[in-house]
A and B are shown apart, each in its own frame.
Chain A
Amino acid sequence: MFYREAGQFKTSYYADQAIFPILQDRIGVAVILFVAFTLPLVASDFFVGSVMIPFLVFSLAAIGLNILTGYTGLISLGTGAFMGVGAYACYKLTTIFPNVPIVVHILSAGFFSAAIGVIFGLPSLRIKGFYLAVATLAAQFFLQWCFVRIPWLYNNNASGAIEVPVRTLMGIDVTGANATPEVRYYLILAIVVGMTWVASNLVHGRIGRQWMAVRDMDIAAELIGIRLLNTKLLAFAVSSFYCGVAGAVMMFLWYGGGEAADAFNINQSFNILFMVIIGGLGSLIGSFFGAAFISSFPTLLKFGLPLIGIHIGSASVEHLTHFAIGALIIAFLIVEPHGLARLWQIAKQKLRVWPFPY
C-alpha cells in the first residue's frame, strides 16, 4: 500500500539499472539526506558532537570492512590498524604540507592505507577464512607496534600521541578546539555521503559482481574468468581506503588528537566487525544500522536514561549498557542472523504487500 511500485514503468535499460528504481526509495533517500543536513539546526551540540559524529565515522569504517568481509568474503581483524594508517598518514601529510586543505590530506591518507592494505592482502590468494583472519590480526599487531615504536610517525613529540594542529577551510576552523561540532559534522557528512555514493556504485557494478562472485565461490569465479588475485587485492585496497579515511576523519574531526593504543587497538577492530555483523554482511545500509547500534546506542542509553527521569549511578548505567547491548546482540542474531539490514528489507517487503500478509 505505502510501498507499491505498480505503475512505475521502466522504458530504458538505464532506468532499470538504477540503484533506487522505485520512487518511494528515492523520496526516502531525499528525506534522509534532508534530515541529515538540517539536523545541526535543531539538535543540541552534544547530540551532534557525541552521537552523530561518532556514528558517521564508524559508518564509514563499517562500509570499509563490509566491502572486504561482506561483499568479498575475506574476514579481516585489522580494521583498527588500517584506520590508524590513515590517521598517521594524514598527520604526517598535514605537518609536512600545512597549506594544503585538510580535506585533501584526509582523502589522500586513504591511499596510504590502501597501499598497506594491499600488502597485507597478498596472502589472501592462498589462505582463506580463519587463517586469513589470523594474517590480518598480524597486521593489526604489527601496525600498532609501528605506531608506538616509530617516533617519526608522531613527529618525535614527547607524549607519543597525535596532536592535531589547527587547520582551516575557507577561513573557518575545521580542526582544533575552535572548530564547532556543526562544522565538523557537515564536513564528515559530506565525506560520508560522497564515499557511500561511490561505494554504492562500486558494489552495484562490474567490480561488485566480481567481489560477490569471489565471495560465493572463488573456484567458480575463477572459471568464469575473474582474476582472483586482482579482485581480492582490489577489495583490500578499496576497503583499506575507506578505513583509512575513517581513521583520519576520526582523529582529525572527532577526537582531535590521541594515542594509538587507545584508538586503533584490537578492540576497535572487533567493534567494527560487530557493526558489520549486526548491521548485515554485504549491505551498505547495514553498515549504517550496525554503526548506529554499536556506537550510538550506548551513548543514548547512558545520557538518555537520566534525561527521561531514570537516575542510577553512572557506573551502574555503564554496566546496564553492556548488559543491554549484549542481550540485544544475541536477541537480534537469533531473530535475524542476517543482521539489521535484513530486518529492514523484511519491513519494506511487508509494507509493499500490506495489508495482505504475502
Chain B
Amino acid sequence: MRTPTGWIFGTALAVVLAAGAPPAKAEEGIYVPLLTYRTGNFAGSGTPIANGMRDYLEMLNQRDGGIGGVKLIIEECETGYDTKKGVECYESTKGKNPVVHNPYSTGLTLQLIPRASVDKIPLLTMAYGLSAAADGRVFPWVFNPPLTYWDGASVFVRFVAEQEGGVDKLKGKTIGLVHLDAPFGREPIPVMEDLAKRYGFNLKLYPVPAQSMQDQASTWLAIRRDRVDWIYNQGWGAMNPTAVKEAVRTNFPISKLVGVWWAGGDDDARAGGPEAKGYRTLSFHGAGADYPAVQDILKYVYDRNLAVGDRAKVGENLYSRGVYNSALIAEAIRTAQQVTGKKVVTGEDVRRGLESMNISEERWKEMGFAGFAAPVNISCDDHSGHNRVFIAQWDGSKFVRGSDYIEPMKDLVRPMIESAAKDYAEKNAGWPKRTEACDGRS
C-alpha cells in the first residue's frame, strides 16, 4: 500500500508544479493555434481536416519561410470535439498571442463568440457556427466565410428547383431535412421553413439524436413512408456514412440526397458502396491533388517527411477543406500585413485583414489554386460574403463537380441574419457596440 500512494502523490505534485510554471516565452513569429480533433466520435471527419490545415501552413513555412518573411508557429491542440477540452485549448493558447482561432465546432464557437472581442482574437468559423455572426456590425470579431448554413439551405432549394424544372414545380413536393439534433443540425430550419411557405413544398424534419447517429433505421423508414422527394442532410461525423448507407439500403434515389458541405467526406460516400454513386453534397472548393499549391504540399511537406497524415489521402474532399481553411488564414495574415504595414501581426491586425480580404479569381490562381474555389469577398458589414457554392457529386471513387456555381438567396438570408444578430445583441444585455473602425477595401 505504501509505494503506490507515494508514487501517485509524487507524480501528481510534479505535474501540478509543472502546470503552474509560467509558459515558455514564444519565439518570434506569427502564432497560429489549430484546434483540431483526431480523437473522439468525430475523428473520422476531423482528421483529414486537421491534416489539410496543418500541411498547408507547414508548406508555406517550408516554401516561403512563412508569410511575408515571418515564420508561422503552428500548434495543434486536441479538442476531441468536446467543448470542455476545446475551452481548455482556447485558454491554454490565448496567452501566446494567437492571431486567429478556428474552433471547428459549433458548440465551442458559441462559447468563444463573446470572448473574441474581449481577448482581441478574431474567430474564423469557416462556413459553420452561428449564422447570425455574419453581421459584422454586431460581431466585429467573428467571421464565417464563404457562406452560412442559411445560405447553404437556400442553395439546396435553388438546386432542387433547377433540377425539377423551375421554382413553380416545387409546389406539392416533399422535401426532408435529416439533421443532427443539436444546434448545428437545427441551423437551417428557419430558412427551410420560410422557403417552404414561399414555394409551397412540404417540409419534413427528421432529427437524429447524437447518441443514435449510427442507427437511423427508423428515420429512413419514416422517410420512405412520407414519400420524400428530396433530402437535405445536415449531418457530421459518423452520422453521414450512416445516412448514405441507409439511403442505399432503403432504395432512396441516392442522387436526391444532398448533404451540407460537412456531409461531403470521401469516407462518407464510400460507406454506401457502389450504389452510393451519384450522392451529392454542397461544396465550396475543388478536390484532388492537381492544384499547384497541393503539389507544393506534397513536395515540401510529404517529401521532407514533415507530414503526420497519409499521403494517399491528400486531395480528398475534407482534406481540401482543411487546406481551404488555411488558405483563408494565410490570406488574412497577408492582407493584415498589407493593411498595417507590420511584419509580425497581432490578432487585432488579422481582424482588419479578414475584414479587407478579397480573394479574386486571379488571386486564387496566384496562390496556386486556379479554379479551386469561387472568389471570397468579405466586408466590414458582411463577414460571410454569401459567396457561391456548387454541388459536388460522388462518381464512385471521388467527388467531382456536379453543377455550376450557385448563388445563395442573399435577399432572403441577409435580412434574417440581421434580425437574428440584433436579437442576439438584445438578449445578451451589455453586448458591446462595435467600436472597431472599418478599413474598407484595401
Q: 1/0 per position for B401-427, CB-CB distance to A under 8 A?
A: 000000000000000000010011001
User: Nearest Cβ in chain A — how far from B354, in angstroms?
Assistant: 19
- Contact between B111 and A257, CB atoms less than 8 A apart: yes
List A contacts of B429 (CB < 8 A): 98, 165-166
Total chain B interface residues with beta-carbon distance under 8 A:
59
Whether a CB of chain A sits under 8 angstroms from the CB of B80 is yes
| Contact indicator B39/A319 (Cβ below 8 Å) | yes
Q: Check if A303 sits within 8 Å of B92, measured CB to CB.
A: yes
B224 interface hit (Cβ, 8 Å):
no
Once A46-B92, A158-B420 are accepted as A-B contacts, the answer to whether A176 and B430 lie under 8 Å apart by CB is yes
Chain B, Cβ-Cβ closest to A178:
B118
Distance from B151 Cβ to chain A, minimum over Cβ atoms (Å):
15
In the complex, whether B362 has a CB less than 8 A from a CB of chain A is: no
For the residues of A in contact with B, the DSSP-based class is helix
* A158 and B210 contact, CB distance less than 8 A: no
Complex contact A299–B88 (CB within 8 A): yes
What is the predominant secondary structure among interface residues of chain B facing chain A? helix
Task: List residues 31-82 of chain B with CB under 8 A from any CB of chain A.
Answer: 36, 38-39, 76-78, 80, 82
| A148:B4 contact, CB within 8 angstroms | no
Query: Does B371 have its Cβ within 8 Å of any Cβ on chain A?
Result: no
Q: Which residues of A contact B427 (CB under 8 A)?
A: 95, 155, 157, 163, 165
- Judge if A263 is at the interface, Cβ distance under 8 Å: yes
Q: 0/1 per residue, A300-336, Cβ < 8 Å to B? A: 1111100110000111011100100000000100011
The CA of A159 and the CA of B427, in the complex, are separated in Å by 13
Specify which chain A residues have a CB less than 8 angstroms from the CB of B91 in the assembled complex: 45-46, 49-50
- Asked if A261 and B181 make an inter-chain contact with CB atoms under 8 angstroms apart, the answer reads yes
A337 interface contact, C-beta 8 A: no
Q: Judge whether B111 and A258 touch: CB under 8 Å.
A: yes
Nearest CB of A to B42, in Å: 12
Q: CA–CA, A134 to B114, complex, Å?
A: 39
CB–CB A256/B115 < 8 A: yes
Residues of A within 8 A of B16 (CB): 300
Tell whether, in the assembled complex, residue B107 and residue A161 are in contact, meaning their CB atoms are under 8 Å apart: yes
List, sorted by A's number, 9 A–B pairs whose CB atoms are closer than 8 Å.
Answer: A159-B106, A256-B114, A259-B107, A261-B210, A263-B83, A302-B78, A303-B92, A331-B4, A343-B1
Interface residues of B (CB under 8 A from A): 1-2, 4-5, 12, 14-16, 18-24, 36, 38-39, 76-78, 80, 82-84, 87-88, 91-92, 95, 106-107, 110-111, 114-115, 117-119, 130-132, 181-183, 186-187, 190, 209-211, 308, 420, 423-424, 427-430
